[in-house]
Structure 1
Amino acid sequence: MKGSYDMLDHRYQTFLVLATTKSYTQTARQLYISQPAVSQQIKSLEAELGVELVRYERPKLTITPAGVELAAFVQRVQVQADAVVATLQHPQKVRQVTFSTTLSISEFLAPQLIGLLQAQHYHEINCRVTNTHVALAAIESGDSDFALIEGNFDKQRYGYEVVRQEPFVGVVAADHPLAQQSAVSWADLTAYPLIVREEGSGSREILENLAHAANVTFAEFPQVVTVNNPTAIREVLLQGSGISFVYRSVVAEALKSGKLAVLPLQAGQLRHDLDLVYPRDSYFADDYRRWATALKKG
């Protein structure tokens, strides 16, 4: 909490430290107060809110589900407060920006955003490529200002702007047997190896949902190859080594050159939202909306 500006009752700050350390002793040491004072503040906060935040059964301290939600909220408020104060103190200085992006989007959308931020003369731009789960966690912790993601998320928990609806397509090498058919069913797909992204990837989650809707599981494929990079998946497909599902923009050049082909699935083409996600009620929401609008046009 060093260097932060306390916008909340000090009891909330104490609770946030306790939720992180899960230790009254460590919390007291970190805040330079007594252990009984920590306990008293937490009990006072619980009484005021009428909610149990902590369960302590020696030697284990557990943060309740309500406590976890409150700690996440306090963390978001603190991060926002620090950013706002820094902006108010130095209005002429363009702040640095840090964002997360999922691997698939890093292939085509993140470079456009970086170019946009460069044009706006941001001095320091930090782009972190990760999966949807980690990207959302980084927003919660304040490690990222916002994220570009394609995975599912709690739309009540975050602010967000839909950047575009991107086709999510089944893809094979142009000379693959399935590419020669006029129509393909999910039953046809299960005769070939399936190349998928890793657990935690938004693309994998979308594919799992698609397969489930068609009453198909990954276990029905003769092989399931997990690759944690869309570029590598593209190369594996070019070898004719199986089928995969990716965003059309990831393989646009290979489709244009005729090296890869989109599967003519009977279920039709799925379009999935690509979102710019940020802390709910963010002070910088107008900036995020402008960037999302610019990306839509791009």
Structure 2
Amino acid sequence: MLDARYQTFLVLSQTRSYTQTAHRRYITQPAVTQQIKSLEAELGVQLVSYRRPHLTITSAGTELAMFVQRVQVEADKLVTGIRTPQGRQSLTFSTTLSLSEFLAPQLIQTIQTATALRQINCQVTNTRAALAAIDQGNSDFALIEGNFDKQRYDYRVVRQEPFVGVVAATNPLAQKVTVSWRDLVSQPLLIRELGSGSREILVSLAQASNIDLADFKQLITVNNPAAIRQLLLRNVGISFVYRSVVADELATGTLRELPLTPVVHDLALVYAHNSFFADDYARWAEML
């Protein structure tokens, strides 16, 4: 456990206000100032830069705030477990929308088989929000397909999944033996919302072929993979998804995979760095 000065600094890094920090910590504003200066003196680094009316957190301060947040989250989880004689009773994890379609159900079944948890809570969101939930202690871990800071989080790769271009079987592109990215821009593009890992991957793929999203005939942003699947079936446009998201439709022939080289992307179970429960997460990832 960290002493009160670290807790005060964490609040200050969030509020950027000595007054609000004093209010939330139930201490006086001079006491906040004294604690921060004491912490800076002990550590030998500047944590806060204050030039009225602007307060900024230094790079060292930002790193320390993330560490304190992580320690606090893990400490709260540990204390809760200690206070529960039967052991850990609940678990909350986040998953991106794409992975909620096929991977999250498998994970829930895996955890159900391996544990005696009374509550398993699954939150479906985008990559950015899933990572933020880990930082804030609102989620124990997350299923992520987007990019994330591998120095900031620990993780286990659960699966390597092909990310493929897909069209309706009735689309003229479905009949082509070869297709280039230049052939695709004449079609409307069904794409996920900002913050989605799938969108980030698609943008990266397009840029690698010197294609910008603005080059497409039309952009249709949809924040749900099930809705994108239905639009594909109606031949509204083309899209890029994980193969498992449209596995049934590909098997029946109602959707066709574009003849492009598929990009295999890592799907990962991501959790806080040095988490006390890392062994559990690693074991579930291995089982999955």
TM range (shorter): over 0.9
Match of 2:93 in 1: 99
Given candidates 58, 64, 68, the residue that maps to 2:58 is 64
Match of 2:47 in 1: 53
Distance 2:22 2:253 in 1: 65
Per the normalisation by structure 1, the TM-score is 0.93
1:246 alignment partner in structure 2: 241
Q: How does 1:259-274 map to 2 (within 5 A)?
A: 259-265=254-260, 268-274=261-267
| 1:196-232 Cα deviation digits (max 9, x unpaired) | 0001100000000000100111111110111100000
Task: Tell me the residue number matched to 1:198.
Answer: 193
Following the alignment from structure 1 to structure 2, what is the Cα–Cα distance between the partners of residues 282 and 73?
12
- Equivalent residue in structure 2 for 1:255, among 242, 247, 250: 250
Q: Secondary structure at the match of 2:95?
A: strand
Is the Cα–Cα contact under 8 Å of residues 168 and 245 in structure 1 kept in the other structure? yes
**Aligned amino acid, residue 217 of structure 2:** P
Counterpart residue identity of residue 259, structure 1: T
- Please report how far the alpha carbon of residue 91 of structure 1 lies from its aligned counterpart in structure 2 after TM superposition: 4.5
Does structure 1 residue 156 correspond to structure 2 residue 142? no
Contact 1:192 1:223 in 2 (8 A): yes
Q: Letter of the aligned partner of 1:102 in structure 2?
A: T
User: Are the aligned partners of 1:159 and 1:279 in contact in 2 as well (CA < 8 Å)?
Assistant: yes
C-alpha distance after superposition, 1:104-148 (max 9, x if no partner): 000001111112222322111111100001111111111111000
Structure 1 gap segments, 5+ residues each:
1-6
Question: Are the equivalent residues in 1 in contact too, given 2:89–2:116 (CA < 8 A)?
Answer: no
Contact 1:72–1:141 (Cα < 8 Å) also in 2 = no
**How large is the RMSD of aligned CA atoms in angstroms?**
1.2
Instruction: Give the equivalent residue in structure 2 for 1:4.
Output: none
Secondary structure of the 2:60 match is helix
Paired residue for 2:280, among 276, 280, 287? 287
Aligned to 1:85: 79
How many equivalent residue pairs? 287
- Paired position in structure 2 for 1:108: 102
The one of 187, 193, 197 aligned to 2:182: 187
Extract unaligned runs of 5+ from structure 2.
none
- The answer for the alignment partner of 1:27 in structure 2 is 21
Which of residues 203, 213, 217 in structure 2 aligns to 1:222?
217
